[in-house]
Amino acid sequence: MAEFVLVKCNCGSEQPVFKYAKSIVRCMNCNAVLAEPRGGEAKIIGEIQKELE
């Protein structure tokens, strides 16, 4: 089961995000929030491109 997803930000940057992130994940390029912790699987804010093995 994939634990990381590749998320695309509105700025066009893509980065891997841990599905079960315990803290807010921000875009490395523009600092926008890409994922918020939800006590389990994080809520992904950006556009999920694919799951990473």
Helix H, strand E, coil C: the string for 9-20 is CCCCCEEEEECC
Q: Which is nearer to Zn ion, 10 or 40 (CB)?
A: 10
Task: Note the residues at the interface with Zn ion (CB under 5 A).
Answer: 9, 11, 13, 27, 29-30, 32
Burial class (CB in 10 A: 0-12, 13-18, 19+), 18: middle
Can you say how many angstroms the Cα of residue 17 is from the centroid of all Cα atoms in its chain? 4
Taking the complex as a whole, the smallest distance from the CB of residue 3 to Zn ion amounts, in Å, to 22
Q: Which is nearer to Zn ion, 7 or 19 (CB)?
A: 7
Taking the complex as a whole, the smallest distance from the CB of residue 27 to Zn ion amounts, in Å, to 3
